[in-house]
Structure 1
Amino acid sequence: MDTAREHGVPVILVQHTSPADSPLFAAGGHSWELHQEVGRRPYDHLVEKTMASAFAKTDLAGWLDAQGIDTLTVAGYMTQNCDESTARDAFHRGMAVEFLSDATGTLALSTRAGSATAKELHNHVLVVMDSNFASVSTTAEWAGAVRSGEPLPRPNIWASTRGSEMD
């Protein structure tokens, strides 16, 4: 956030809001509050969302369009849910998307379809994002690109599948 502000990159905070009786993100509850470190920093726009993607039923698309913003950098929680949904929606809107690998995170999942450790799940999402939907980088790599004015390498689905066979 600090690097973005220092270089004129708008900062958008996204807050997930669930009904008051929800076990997570209940409006006004502790898990709903912005992280103290994030909330104390200046930002340009706050998006309050109720669905995984920050674009779904919010003013984000209109705000980005009004500002002439064509690139979205994604950081936050959870990698395979809110972050991935937002990144895919931005990509489908024609935006360049950047996904910060060390500024997103998740938990292990276990469903009827199988299970994955947090690390496996996170890494799989990063591979998929970087194959087509987003430029995946570390925060340090992203900050370096912002400082230099050079874009991050863009994903290439064709290059990412070279040499592999379909199972």
Structure 2
Amino acid sequence: MSANPRRALVVIDVQNEYTSGDLPIEFPPVETSLANIGRAMDAARAAGVPVVVVQNFAPADSPLFARGSVGAGLHPVVASRERDHYVEKSLPSAFAGTDLEAWLAGRDVDTVAVAGYMTHNCDASTVFEATHAGLAVEFLSDATGSVPYANEAGAASAEDIHRVFSVVMHSRFAAVVTTDAWLAAVKAGAPLARDTIYASNQRARANRVPA
């Protein structure tokens, strides 16, 4: 973790599919996350932090993010704002099959802040890959969001999915913070710290109520 982070804000898949389409974000409320995404982009622009906008596409016959569909379009909160780089992807991670890692390296970025959708899919994949690439990572927990799932493995609410992934990411992969905390760190030019697996586990064990 750099004492003077050279940040970039990576805004992932803020597309209509998640607001008015067939995959609506449920937690945190999408109105909250959209407002915070806009705030983060504006603050990054004011502070000289480069902004990367990522957009996901699927084949034209896909039920979600079909190329050319309204659902695949960028939401106005992102589409109406300036960006420094654009990444098109078709896999969860914003690094997979794209020029993102090279673009960041070319600008000496050592810290990426992740906002956008979804917490447990494209965000988590990007966070993990960024960590493996040697970057410090920040995750804006109220500028992101999840949907509920039910399948053969079980069921989980959007809130449960978002919370669990946030806890796991903060234990090793990213500093999980609110947008307000991130804005303060950007203004101060200060790093944000993640926890450790050991400390996270020890804390949970210490707080466990005996049976």
What TM-score bracket applies, with the shorter chain setting the length? over 0.9
Match status 1:76 vs 2:116: yes
- One-letter amino acid matched to 2:66: A
Stretches of 4+ moved more than 4 A in 1? none
Name the residue aligned to 1:3. 43
Indicate whether 1:40 and 2:80 are aligned.
Answer: yes
Higher RCO (C-alpha 8 Å, min separation 6): 2
Please give the per-residue CA displacement for 1:76-132, whole angstroms capped at 9, x wherever unaligned: 111100000000000110100000110111110011111100000000000000000
Q: 1:61 is paired with a residue of what secondary structure?
A: helix
Of the three residues 8, 25, 32, the one matched with 2:65 is: 25
Question: Could you state the TM-score of these two structures normalised by the residue count of structure 1?
Answer: 0.96
The share of aligned pairs that are identical, in percent, is 53
Say yes or no: does 1:96 pair with 2:136.
Answer: yes
Aligned residue number for residue 159 of structure 1: 199
Secondary structure of the corresponding residue to residue 98 of structure 2: coil
**CA–CA distance in structure 2, aligned partners of residues 153 and 133 of structure 1:** 10
Cα drift, residue 154 of structure 1: 2.6
AA of the residue aligned to 2:81: R
Give, in whole Å, the separation in 2 of the partners of 1:152 and 1:115.
Answer: 33
CA contact (8 A) 2:171 2:194 kept: no
- Could you tell which deviates more after superposition, 115-124 or 156-165? 156-165
2:161 matched residue in structure 1: 121
Which ranges of structure 2 fall in alignment gaps of 5 or more residues? 1-40, 206-211
TM-score by length of 2: 0.76
Q: Secondary structure at the match of 2:71?
A: helix
Q: What root-mean-square deviation, in Å, do the aligned CA atoms of Structure 1 and Structure 2 show?
A: 1.0
1: distance between equivalents of 2:140 and 2:204?
A: 26
Deviation at 1:155, TM superposition (A): 2.5
Secondary structure of the residue aligned to 1:142 is helix
Task: Tell me the amino acid that sits aligned with residue 128 of structure 2.
Answer: R
Tell whether 2:93 aligns with 1:53.
yes
